[in-house]
Structure 1
Amino acid sequence: MSNQETGKVLSPAEQRTALLESIRRLRTRSHQGLWAIAAFACTSIPAMLSDRIFPPLTPQVKKMLGTPPSSNMISALLVVYAFSAILLVLGRITNGSPKMVSFSHIGYLICFYAFYYFSGVLPENFWAVLATGMTILSLESYHIWSLSSAMIKEEEETLAILERRIGQEK
């Protein structure tokens, strides 16, 4: 085994240390999806309480923003987004793609909360955005966890082989 950056051949002890560090990083990464779900849940609380915590839009702000999109248009876009995101995540799961994009979904979902808020229909549509977000983020979390678990298993197998080799050398 050689160091990726320097090309230097590593000693068995350095290889073991590198494998243990890799396993630690993968275990940390396996929880990334859960952190995204928690972050989305935390950003959903102000959206749920928007009529109580955010001041109503003044006529000047409404004029500056222009005519908001209709509730039906926002809902149609939410359905298209949900369908597309779910298909992409399922495609990454079936292909074993290493690409992980859990936190970017939160930004898109917050935009849906904002669009519904500016249209004045967030309370009626809050649960649709929340359910969509939890579905997408749960699938993404599963993808990250399963991919990380498979990589951890490979690293642990490599570590076991290395430790057997080190034991035989002694």
Structure 2
Amino acid sequence: MTNWIKAANPLATIAGPDEARSAARMSAMALWLSAAWGGVGFVWMMMNLERIQAAMTAAVAVQTEGQSAEAAALANSIIANGAQTGLIFAGIIVVVQLALGWFQWTRPNRYIPIIFLMLSAYALLTDVFGIVSAGGIGVDATAMNPAWRMIVGLVVAAVCTLLHLGGLRGAIKLDKTAG
């Protein structure tokens, strides 16, 4: 257990190829954590698909108020199956994260941690900025994103960012010891 804690620590020193491999695999753990959270979101979306679609339709109606009939019709046609499309993309993202996590576990490299470090840091920063600019979590909680999802999402994004950072450090050290 101590080795896993050390491997997950992005500030720990990496003393050899075994520790480097363990640290590089933290990026796989982050991908699997993110996929698990995405799976929770997928199930939540499936259970609330009609409510999400209704919220999207209402938002389009507010946004197109006062615009031409053609503009309103175009916006409505785009959003007509928006919830289903979002559900499909969420499922695809979960599958891709699971596959990339497996790949990073079996063949640790630096490219996956670099890409997902940037993506998880971006997710964390945009979530925090969205909450701050909306005036707090209670203000931004909507039918499409309740407060509990926003709070847990922030925690998952922060943990994944740290794990990807540790994974990148381990992958870089692994490349140096191999080459």
Q: Shorter-chain-normalised TM-score: which range?
A: 0.3 to 0.5
Between structure 1 and structure 2, the one with the greater Rg is: 1
